[in-house]
Amino acid sequence: MSEKPIILAELEIAQQKALALLAEIQDEEPLQAWKREYLGKSSTVMSAFSSIGQQSKEFRPLVGQVANQVKQALEAALEERARIVTEAALTRKITDERVDVTLPGRQPITGGLHPQTLVLRRIFSIFAEMGFQVYRSRDVESDEHNFELLNIPAHHPARDMWDTFHIDQPGVVLRTHTSPGQIRVMREQAPNPIRAILPGMCYRYEQISSRSEIQFNQVEVLAVGKNITFGDMKGTLNGFVRRLFNADVRTRLRPSYFPFTEPSAEMDVECFVCAGKGCSVCKGSGWLEIMGCGIVHPAVLKNGGYDPEVYSGFAAGMGPERISMLLHKIEDIRYFWGNDARFLEQF
Ligand code: DAH
């Protein structure tokens, strides 16, 4: 009888070693390496199979049988280990990626309303309480509406106050003020009474500074009817200012000049920062200028289709950017349209 083939001992050692190592494996990658090492082409088990032909006849069946047992044992152990590794990986994933429902939520980034939208809405609601409707008028105007029909003929020196942008088409301008809307409302409504406010962007060829921009909003106020007086104007504008700033702010009217009103005035409010004592906001005067106003000029009423012998009216024009600047102590008008989120987020 020949000696037991050495491969049988080798198989036993390989099996022990392989099983011991397998028991330590925690991850998919070393598992694959293990498989290559102990069940791959050059593993002891596989070489045992290919060695069968060289074994003595007597031991061939035994070598084959043992190699098979070892192979099956290793495959079974691998399968079991693979199940454990996959399960462990899943458990780890679940704990690592667990949603902690007790964490505070993340604030979504939301936009806000522009400070000008906010102040315009305040102005609209105050005038709405007094029965005024918002009337939209056009940004691109005819020279005729912007100037002529408002009693500002060509070459009138008052035009210097409203230097503007012209477009290619002669006689068409970007409106310099919302006043041309007065003519449009009147022509639409005559001879009915009017209580309207006309908001919108205006454009001027200006030296840009902390007080002036080439683009800004205005809100025009217009009331037309029978027996409308300077007193009505004063009462309405005072009512507006008190709702906007505070209930007992003082106001004053200073004589002024506008070609489309007669008489014309400028309305000031008592500086609410220093209560009229004089400070940097009111430049020491104790007063803040907030709008131009006056009794609609008979020529303008006529241009709007109202008989100035029968009808009268008052008008006013204010700059909402300036009003925002006063309300929030903003020192530079250019912030409004500069698109800087750090400024805009504050409202
Ligand atoms: N349109 C004038 C301007 O842009 C403002 C203004 C003043 C409007 C007096 C009026 C008014 O309606 O009566 O400076």
In tens digits, the chain (347 residues) has pLDDT values of 578 889 989 999 999 999 999 999 999 999 999 999 999 999 999 999 898 889 888 988 989 999 999 999 999 999 999 999 999 989 989 888 888 889 898 888 888 999 999 999 999 999 999 999 999 999 999 999 999 999 998 888 877 777 778 778 888 999 999 999 999 999 999 999 999 999 999 999 888 887 788 899 999 999 999 999 999 999 999 999 999 988 788 999 999 999 999 999 999 998 877 888 988 778 899 998 999 999 999 999 999 999 999 999 999 999 999 899 888 888 888 899 998 999 999 98
What is the pLDDT at residue 165? 80
Q: Hey, which CATH number is domain 115-344, 3.20.20.10, 3.20.19.10, 3.30.930.10, 3.40.50.1980?
A: 3.30.930.10
Distance, CA of 295 to CA of 262 (rounded, Å): 5
Question: What is the pTM assigned to this prediction?
Answer: 0.71
- In this structure, are residues 218 and 178 in contact, taking their beta carbons and an 8 Å threshold? yes
What is the pLDDT at residue 1? 59
Distance, CA of 251 to CA of 288 (rounded, Å): 9
What is the pLDDT at residue 5? 87
Distance, CA of 302 to CA of 32 (rounded, Å): 97
Q: What's the Cα-to-Cα distance from 218 to each of 243, 298, 345, rounded to whole Å?
A: 19, 23, 23
What is the pLDDT at residue 225? 98
Mutate to test the pocket of ligand 1, among 163, 214, 258 (most ligand atoms within 8 A of CB): 258
Distance, CA of 281 to CA of 273 (rounded, Å): 7
For the chain, domain boundaries: 6-96, 115-344
The structure tokens listed for 279 are 């400070």
Neighbours of 303 (CB within 10 A): 20
- 192 Cβ partners below 8 Å, 6+ apart? none
What is the pLDDT at residue 271? 85
Identify which of 267, 287, 268, 269 has the alpha carbon closest to the alpha carbon of residue 277. Answer: 287
CA of 114 to the centre of ligand 1 (A): 24
CA torsion angle 90 93 95 100 (round to 10): -130
CA torsion angle 230 233 234 235 (round to 10): 120
What is the pLDDT at residue 283? 85
Distance, CA of 193 to CA of 231 (rounded, Å): 17
- In this structure, are residues 266 and 149 in contact, taking their beta carbons and an 8 Å threshold? no
What is the pLDDT at residue 30? 92
CA of 317 to the centre of ligand 1 (A): 4
Q: What is the DSSP letter of 108?
A: P
261 lines ligand 1 (CB under 6 A): yes
Neighbours of 285 (CB within 10 A): 12
CA of 47 to the centre of ligand 1 (A): 104
Closest ligand 1 atom to the C-alpha of 176? 4
Distance, CA of 302 to CA of 260 (rounded, Å): 11
Q: What does the pLDDT look like over 216-233, one tens digit per residue?
A: 999 999 999 999 999 999
Distance, CA of 261 to CA of 314 (rounded, Å): 8
71 lines ligand 1 (CB under 6 A): no
